[in-house]
């Protein structure tokens, strides 16, 4: 019985991630994430990262998150760095159910969508 409950809970978590990721990516494709919102998201992630403690994520992962967003500028943050932070946040949420972890995932995925799709929109205009 416990195994079935765990499988069900994991399925719900996965569905929530996929559903919200798809909506965020759609916002990015439509160009609905503005540079001002990107600035807000980075500031919020910096603020949240100051309260992150280790367990279930490692000290190295916390330091990585802080170092990525200490850059302060979306143009200095790579897609790969955003993807790694998103994976850390997702795993943290899966393991701990932390609201901060899920919020971190959502904010990082919004930056990811902005980074991916705002550059594609610029290429289409050329």
Distance CA 41, CA 31 (A): 16
Report d(CA 48, CA 108) in Å as an integer.
12
pLDDT tens, position by position, 98-120: 999 999 999 999 999 999 998 66
pLDDT single digits (tens) 49-60: 999 988 889 999
What pLDDT does 126 receive? Answer: 44
pTM of the model: 0.88
- pLDDT tens digits for range 16-56: 999 999 999 999 999 999 999 999 999 999 999 999 988 88
DSSP one-letter string for 32-56: -S-HHHHHHHHHHHHHHHTT--SSS
Domain map (residue ranges) of the chain: 2-125
Q: What is the pLDDT of residue 113?
A: 98
Residue 74: the pLDDT is: 97
Element (H, E) at 92: helix 79-96
Is the pLDDT assigned to residue 121 strictly greater than 80? no
**Cis amide bond preceding 56, omega within 30:** yes
């Amino acid at each position: 019985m416990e195994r079935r409950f765990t499988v069900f809970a994991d399925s719900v978590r996965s569905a929530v991630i996929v559903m919200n990721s798809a909506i965020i990516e759609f916002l990015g494709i439509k160009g609905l994430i503005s540079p001002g919102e990107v600035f807000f998201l980075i500031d919020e992630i910096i603020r949240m990262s100051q309260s992150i403690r280790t367990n279930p994520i490692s000290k190295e992962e916390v330091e990585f998150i802080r170092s990525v967003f200490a850059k302060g500028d979306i143009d200095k943050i790579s897609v790969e760095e955003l993807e790694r932070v998103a994976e850390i946040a997702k795993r943290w949420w899966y393991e701990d159910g932390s609201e901060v972890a899920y919020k971190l995932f959502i904010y990082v995925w919004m930056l990811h969508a902005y980074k991916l799709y705002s550059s594609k929109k610029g290429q289409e205009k050329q």
